[in-house]
Structure 1
Amino acid sequence: MNHQQQRSRQFHAGFSGQPSGPVGRVAGFVAAVAAAILAFMFSLVLVALVVAGGAALGGWLWWKTREARKAMNGRRPPGGYVIEGEAVRQTETVVVHRLPE
């Protein structure tokens, strides 16, 4: 075994098993808690960015559609009474047959 392989084995051996004693266990627990806190903080930042992006997109859409909303407000009936329903239109077709002259 050469020197490089030996150093690699020693380096990776420290990560392969349980912590060696109570100090190692406490250090592992502290590291796990710190990693969980960092992950939670990252998720909060990510959620804040998504909310801010959604608010910006909603504001842009609201701003772009303001003219359409104004136009729709102007088309309302004066009394505010709207009759909704369906209508079916039927037409008669007349077929004229002419005799040859």
Structure 2
Amino acid sequence: MPTRQNSSSGKPKSPRIQVVLPEDLCLRLAALADGESRTVSNMAKVLIQQGVQRYEQGGDRQVAPPAKEPQSSTEQLRSALESKQTRRLRGAPRRVRLQRPD
């Protein structure tokens, strides 16, 4: 049963649940979260939402391994930048002259 807490302003917070995960699954979840710059809790929420939606839409009621999803735009950008050759800067850095106010 989810628990519900109140914030300091008195508004009710979203329901909270506790889940016990095997260590290897927890590490995989943490790696996914890190890859998408999310918290582990937020990544778990997103994956649960996707799983429930897929379960409700499809007639397939068996738990199947998730299909490989296309890379996020962040991952695509990171891959593109990492595959590029680094370029050296031309010439020495220029000095910046600071002028004193009159």
Per the normalisation by structure 1, the TM-score is 0.27
Higher relative contact order (CA 8 A, sep 6+): 2
State the structure with more CA Rg.
Answer: 1
- When the two structures are superposed, what TM-score results if normalisation uses the length of structure 2? 0.27
